[in-house]
Structure 1
């Protein structure tokens, strides 16, 4: 009798099925996720050292390779321009061909071209390699993959990407101060290449493909294998039965799918928020030094007027005051991390976005009226911390609001629009700041105010919701949309 009931129970389990979200929730958070989070952190630290490379090695390039200020500025812009295309295209490829192969390709790409910078003989090759390496966006695809293994209650951990970025930003100055005076600027580039090499090797041995991607492409058995691997790593198990097979989604990673009726206004809001949010973040990030200079607060040592420009550039090393400014610019963002982790679950994503934008706008406005060292530093930290919060929460929201078959292109196209803002932000900070300080700050204030208002226009809340697959969600919402049109 006992044998019969057990057999019946096994048959019943074999005939039952579970959804992928049920499996993710059942596996819970464990060792696999901790390892993945550490890999994301290492990737962000490597990228921060790379993005800020020119700011660290710039004085050495002026001194030893004869670069002028215009060439240094072009090198900084060169990194952002190809990202406008790279963000969207590689996001599309991740939806069409899978997350893992695109991450592997981008990791090899970035390591190879950063490694070649070590041997650059002149400005032409340095500019070319910065352009090519800037197209790699592996960390965005990797965070997207990480999010697809998290249950709703744990997706607030995506805000920790901001923490890793801050650590990397601060590390680049410490690393530069430690190796450049002794071994030259190429040693800093070599250290950055080593970080990318570690990311490449660890990713190759550890990263699985997305179970969600396998599921929407009809590869349900591969999705089950991935889930079983994650469950074993977490000392957990899968729900009884077999994974539910979904209808295969053919139209994956297509830009025009973002403008179908169910997602049109979501995309318009998200794109506008990414443009304004990234514009303000990079605007204050690259313009903080110019801001304190035009505010009458000098953090730099006075130089001998008899020096020419080349001698001055060679003599200006990291002194205590300038290093303090760079540290504030890098580590000031830490203020917003714990607050945002708490807020996104308490008040939701849109309201947290709006609050971060309001504090950013207030900080920019106050800096227009305060020029003293203490108050200026206080509001500068507030601007850096909460503009970074806008950026981070937006990235998390875009990962949640778009379905599996559009997640790569949805986030990638949003980042591409944001990179347009990043490319033009120096015009409103570094250039305009020296002509009219108040006008530059008012532009940043107005842009942050736009970010504050958009989330209040009935943006969809994603707190506590499972990630959707494209087919089920789009059919439900389009059917509802069509029915509403007929009723009218």
Structure 2
């Protein structure tokens, strides 16, 4: 069913404008810059949180007696509840609004990461990682930000990756600086402080999405938000009144994703999210293990493995290894300007395919190169390309689904991806210690699958306005199923 708009006018001769006209007219200004900075802070906090175990893992091994399997399970514990959280909170964001769900998730994340500092034993550490992992505040926030952007500016969603890279690289520098002196709990406290800042700033700054207000029939609230954004950007809205739309029923229903217009889009997006997130988090949380099994130690200056170290861990903490990983993480920066250019030049699907090919090549080369310099180079390449897959996929999902299904569309895709994220530590942090080559072959094969799927005539979203309502238009089905 296609819902038609009906204009709300005080007089028949009054002019009106559509929401997309208003967003395009407001353009990009101070409001968007402030919002981008908040999203960036959220990215940095999440990067430190998601990669927490890869930083504090060596300390947990020494001081709390964790083995490689337990470290892998601890990493997986963070992703398992996100399988449910991504889908359900995405649905709630479609039904109840982006802002209230985001506020709830921000408080949730801060509170449980804060409690993690006081974990007395292994059991509490595992339980708190499970509970804190259910929060998906970053995804809801990025979805909200995208609904304020005109088509030409949505490539900014790729630039946000810069903040993730900063957080990713900084986590190792912070770990090297404070863990040897203050212990692993000091790193957790730093992450909690970042979430505290996100929580406070979000509460004071973030508005509700005008697109959500529009599809729920709250045209006056949508217009009020647009006026606030226009004022922040020192501009005005188009002349007239915002068109009033009939309320979209059935918002956030997962069944809508399997209607003919979205069925094959959903199937391929889900498969891409699974493979893309599996490879990214596989190397992201397992980066320390890749370096370690290549003969570089984290806890001493000699060549003993961590398993051979004395339980007292009196050996000197090797900060050089963490600096190596920081360099590799900052190497992701190289992929950002390239992807910003490619998504507008050749489109989203082909850019996804190129990044997937690059990640497959990087994983393959790591099988043959174990020296510090070449390992750092190919590790940086794998992080850059897999992060590119992740970022472009998220942007594509935000663009391909309408406002009434955007939360559940992206959320369900991320939920499928979190299944891949949950098992990825077993492929890197566990399998890596058993068979280094096989672990990297698994990552290479998964990247090849990611490379092929975008070439199956996936719909291009470059330069298109975001849709607000679901449709039953057979022409929207891709040639892939014809």
**Superposed pair shares fold, TM > 0.5:** yes
Other-structure match for 2:169: 170
Q: Spell out the pairing of 1:225-244 with structure 2 (5 A cutoff).
A: 225-244=224-243
For residues 182 and 226 of structure 1, the distance between their equivalents in structure 2, rounded to whole angstroms, comes to 48
CA shift in 2, pair 1:251/1:345, >3 Å: same
Change (3 A) 1:37 1:94: same
* Counterparts in 2 of 1:307 and 1:54: CA distance versus 1, 3 Å: closer
Larger CA deviation: 363-372 vs 248-257: 363-372
Listed as ranges, the matches of 1:100-139 within 5 Å are 100-139=99-138
Equivalent residue number for residue 315 of structure 1: 315
Q: Is the 8 A contact 1:334 1:385 kept in 2?
A: yes
Q: Is residue 63–residue 311 contact of structure 2 (8 Å, CA) maintained in 1?
A: no
In the alignment, the residues of structure 1 paired with residue 429 and residue 356 of structure 2 have an alpha-carbon distance, to the nearest angstrom, of 22
Q: Contact between 1:169 and 1:330, CA under 8 Å: does it hold in 2?
A: yes
In structure 1, the residue matched to 2:186 is 187
What SS class does the counterpart of residue 462 from structure 2 fall into?
coil
Aligned to 1:5: none
Superposition map of 1:204-353 within 5 A: 204-295=203-294, 301-302=301-302, 309-311=309-311, 313-320=313-320, 322-353=321-352
Partners of 2:178 and 2:24 lie apart in 1 by 46
Q: Is contact 2:325–2:376 with CA below 8 Å preserved after alignment?
A: no
Unaligned stretches of 5+ in structure 1? 1-9
SS at match of 2:389: helix
Q: Distance in 1 between matches of 2:182 and 2:12?
A: 64
Residue equivalent to 2:21: 22
Q: Which residue of 2 aligns with 1:380?
A: 379
Distance 1:414 1:251 in 2: 19
In 2, are the aligned partners of 1:220 and 1:245 still within 8 Å (CA)?
yes
Change (3 A) 1:197 1:14: farther
The CA deviation string for residues 440-470 of structure 1, in whole angstroms up to 9 with x for no partner, is: 3232222111111111111111110000011
Q: 1:306 Cα shift?
A: 13
- Give the superposition deviation at 1:161: 2.3
Report SS of the residue matched to 1:302: coil
- CA gap of 1:307–1:65, structure 2 versus 1, over 3 A, is closer
RMSD of aligned alpha carbons: 2.5
Query: Greater CA deviation, 436-445 or 143-152?
Result: 436-445
Instruction: Encode CA deviations 1:100-140: one digit per residue, 9 max, x unaligned.
Output: 00000000111111111222222222211111001000000
1:77 Cα offset (Å): 1.5
How far has the Cα of 1:54 moved from its partner?
2.2
Superimposed CA distance per residue, residues 353-400 of structure 1 (whole angstroms, 9 cap, x where no aligned partner): 111111112222233344444333322221111111001100000000
The within-5 A match list for 1:326-475 is 326-471=325-470, 474-475=471-472
C-alpha displacement at 1:14, in angstroms?
6.6
TM-score normalised by L of structure 1: 0.90
1:183-208, Cα deviation, whole Å (9 max, x unpaired): 33322222211111111110001000
CA distance in 1, matches of 2:306, 2:332: 39
Instruction: Say whether the 8 Å CA contact 2:68–2:429 is kept in structure 1.
Output: no
| Distance in 1 separating the partners of 2:66 and 2:220 | 56
Gaps of 5+ in 2: 1-8
String of CA shifts for 1:241-293, please: whole Å, max 9, x gaps. Answer: 11111121111111111001110011001001001111111222233343344
How far has the Cα of 1:302 moved from its partner?
Answer: 1.0
Q: CA deviation at 1:297?
A: 6.1
CA–CA separation in structure 2 for the residues paired with 1:187 and 1:306:
22
How many residue pairs get matched?
Answer: 470
Verify the 8 A CA contact 2:113 2:132 in the aligned structure 1.
Answer: yes
